[in-house]
Amino acid sequence: MTTTTDSTSSTTEATTEKNIDWFHGVLQRQDADEILQKHGSFLLRASEVNGKMSMILSVRHDSKLHNFVVNCDGNGENFWFEGYHKEKTIEQLVHWHMTNGIPVTKVSGVKLRTPIGKPDWIIDHDSVVFIKKLGEGAFGEVSLAECEIGGQKVEAAVKTMRCQMTRETRAAFMKEARLMRKYQHPHIVRIIDGSLLSYLRKNKTKTTLSERLRFCIESADGLAYLEKKQCLHRDIAARNCLLSLTDQIKISDFGLSDDKRTEMQDDTLGKVPVKWLAPEVMQDKLYSLKSDVWAFGVLMWEIYADGADPYPGMTNLQTRAKIFCDDYRMPFPEITPPMIAEIALKSCWTKSPAERATMKSVLLKLKDFSAPASDVSFKERK
């Protein structure tokens, strides 16, 4: 499985509230909205308010999410929502409002009914043991770690921030985790072992043509699933594909991703290496499901080039000039089956996004190519 963790900590979380079953730690408003479904359900979370971390009580009331800042005095000895009643702890304060049927605030009329505990995807920092670094993503490092979940120890890919979080970076970081929770697919990262890029570079002579084709098909399968969900990945590359314990491809790193849209404009290109960008992204900064298809063509090239850097010998500026001025396309390594190179050239690297293939059609072509091959074993996983 994959989880994300904020490597920064707050004094808020270090208080006794950490031991409250319905305290969810640092949690975004959108996540609280997802967790609280029934009228009167509530949870406690930490969030940044006016530049400092504060405790927030989130409550579902009349189908709306209400959020109340927990007030406390300078010594942290008294807590309250409004001035008419104070308690020594937040837990006692909430218990008083719930058992007496007193609204959190008079104006809102919101009453507390059912505390909601943390879902499985929220993991305490203390239960995570880091084993080794696997790679880097848009926001931080990805590591192999062992996590204790539900009394069982499981291996997980854990992403941590490299730098101090601002409100904006925290929101983006949590958005990535929110996206990944949505997706259940055999080729979207969950259980991992190592990166595809490292595997290709370490096993140049050992990686068979059938394995390379399988890597292409499995990554295309995962991307076709994201395409169906209208998720723009925006950073498709071998470095962002992990391998399971049985060497199955897992698409990872959703730090730049966005869902429920087929295209978006982004003026910041600094986070994505130029050599994986489609022409329309380089020129107009326009990302789409079709720009992910272009990047997949580069990924296939990486698979057959033993993880080498694309456009070898060229700078980013030279690469861009060759694509735009000369309509240049990379030749594939000699070991590449002609059909694979043809799929990249005619389906993925078409200059016009409108004429470019979908990931679904690319996947079907790859499967059709694999079917007659006696040394290739691929079965679509449900």
Would you put residue 44 in left (φ > 0), alpha (ψ -120 to 50) or beta? beta
Does residue 42 contact residue 58 with C-beta atoms inside 8 Å? yes
Listed in sequence order, the residues at least 6 apart from 111 whose beta carbon sits closer than 8 Å to its beta carbon are 40, 61, 97, 98, 101, 102, 103, 104
Q: What are 194's strand-pairing partners?
A: 243
Strands (E), the chain: 2-5, 23-26, 41-49, 52-61, 64-69, 71-72, 79-80, 114-115, 128-136, 140-149, 152-161, 194-195, 231-232, 241-243, 249-251, 258-259, 263-265, 286-288
CA pair distance 21, 18, nearest whole angstrom? 8
Cα–chain-centroid distance for residue 201? 25
Phi/psi at 306 (nearest 5 deg)? 60, 35
Q: Tokens 């058992």 belong to which residue?
A: 99
Catalytically active residues are 235
Judge whether 159 is annotated as a binding position. yes
CB 236 within 8 A of CB 299: yes
| Amino acid type, 36 | L
Annotated binding site, which residues? 159
Q: Please report, in range form, the residues annotated as the binding site for ATP.
A: 159
